[in-house]
Structure formats: C-alpha cells, structure tokens
Amino acid sequence: MSTVPFTFRIEKDLKNSLDLEAQAEERSSSYLASQAIKTMLEIRTEKKQAIEKAIVEADKGTFVSQKAVHQWMDSWDTENELDKPKADIFLKN
C-alpha cells in the first residue's frame, strides 16, 4: 500500500512517549502513529456497525426486560445459575 505525507502537531510529552515506544518496538514513531490512527478508525467503524445492527434489532420490538437480565446476572457464579434470558417484552404485534 502506498503512503502519503501527513503532518500534525501533538503535545511534547505525547511525542516523547511515542518516540520511546517506537524505539522499544524498533519501529518509527510515524509507523506507530499510523497504526494507532488505523486502529482508532477501525474501532469507530465497528462501533457504528454495532449501533446500526442494534437499531435494526430494536426496530423489531422484541426485548429482554431489565428485571430478567438482572435476575440472570445475579445468578452468575451460583449453584443455580440461570440460562440466558429470553425476550419477555414485545412492543409490536
């Protein structure tokens, strides 16, 4: 993949930390910065996709109540651990 120059300003302490990490990793600071930006963008894309998927699911109108979820979570690590709760709220008929 080809690269292009990109310049930006960061705090001195952040640059020093980046340089130290780059030295420890035997990489350039620009490589580490590029990887960090790439990771941040990937995470944001995944978050947006998860939100879109959740909206599609919510639009179906089928939910698990807070009470059912809390009962399930309260049973974790007990002798009588409950199964994952099933939908008990139906907003659309």
pLDDT tens by residue, 3-31: 999 999 999 999 999 999 999 999 999 99
Give the predicted TM-score (pTM) of the model.
0.71
pLDDT at residue 41 above 90?
A: yes
Measured CA to CA, the distance from residue 22 to residue 28 in angstroms comes to 5
Please choose, from the candidates 53, 9, 68, the residue with its C-alpha nearest in 3D space to the C-alpha of residue 33.
9
Provide the residue range defining the domain that includes 74: 60-93
Q: For residue 5, what are its two tokens? A: 């120059």
Task: Report yes or no on 4 lying in a domain.
Answer: no
Together in a domain, 15 and 51: yes
Together in a domain, 17 and 53: yes
- Number of domains the chain is built from: 2
Together in a domain, 32 and 69: no
Together in a domain, 48 and 67: no
Task: Report yes or no on 1 lying in a domain.
Answer: no
**How many other C-beta atoms can be found within 10 angstroms of the C-beta atom of residue 38?**
10
Together in a domain, 49 and 83: no
- Confidence grade of residue 1 (pLDDT, cut at 50, 70, 90): confident
